[in-house]
Amino acid sequence: MAKILIIEDEEAILLALEDNLRLEGYDVESAKDGEQGLSMAQEGKFDLIILDIMLPRMDGFDVCKQLRQDGIITPILMLTAKSQEIDKVLGLELGADDYVTKPFSPRELLARVKALLRRSKQVQQGTDEISFGDVEVDFKKYEMKKAGSLVYLTALEFSLLHFLVQNKGQVVSRDAILDEVWGRDIYIQPRTVDKHIAELRKKIEDDPTVPKYILGVRSVGYKFSE
């Protein structure tokens, strides 16, 4: 069963999360401050990290950034409390994969957890490697290189790219992308897809304004082309 690390300092939320996740059969460990959470997460043995933002010692933004800098690719679900935090999480340069806003229902949280875990598993099971132009992607290792240099992609971006690559040459709709990458139980606005596609293009394309690989098909969706 999947191992989940919860980094949260509010006792009541932490206990509720632990209970809910254990009831679903997950193996749960927890940390109550950012530094402790970071060092546990750095061991790399978790399948998912649930990370609060306002934390003693080191905040969730810094924990997230540090983990990505260290090459830890474990999917991260952020817990946000304020709209300023959501904006920052959505800024994506941070490397978080998804977020839920407090207060959240256990059902919503579990749906997000399941979707994130399912996504990373799909990437692990599908096409291993692909190269196009000067881009090389190893989906098993979550590694991407452009012109020989490593480029950091979030787990969500890997998942998105993977889905497009699996459907090479075909147009996939925003809805199909939402179902596949985010999961059916989750409500996300279709424009979220566009935002993540834009981030992915910046990393993959020579000129993101004139994409060669991830083509937009007006009002329908996207198509991967070599």
Note the residues at the interface with Ca ion (CB under 5 A).
9, 52, 54
Element holding 42 (H helix, E strand): helix 34-42
Smallest distance, Ca ion to C-beta of residue 13, A: 8
| Phi, psi of 58, deg, nearest 5 | -155, 130
Nearer to Ca ion, 51 or 181 (CB): 51
193: its two tokens:
């897809």
Min dist CB 145 to Ca ion, Å, is 37
Exposure string for 162-183, b = 16+ CB within 10 A, e = fewer? bbbbebeeeebebebbbebbbb
Q: Which is nearer to Ca ion, 9 or 24 (CB)?
A: 9
* Residue at shortest CB range from Ca ion: 54
Q: Are 143 and 153 in contact (CB under 8 A)?
A: no
Which one, 37 or 221, has the nearer CB to Ca ion? 37
What is the spatial distance between Cα 144 and Cα 93, in angstroms, rounded to a whole number? Answer: 16
Considering the complex, what minimum distance in angstroms separates the CB of residue 128 from Ca ion? 39
Strands 135-138, 76-80: pairing kind: unpaired
Query: Which amino acid does the sequence have at 5?
Result: L
Closest separation in Å from C-beta 216 to Ca ion: 39
156: three-class secondary structure by DSSP: helix
Residue nearer to Ca ion on the CB measure, 104 or 152 = 104
Name the residue nearer to Ca ion (CB basis): 61 or 139: 61
State how far the Cα of 41 lies from the Cα of 48, in Å rounded to an integer.
9
Q: How far is the CB of 52 from Ca ion (least distance, A)?
A: 4
Separation between Cα atoms, residue 6 and residue 17, nearest integer Å: 8
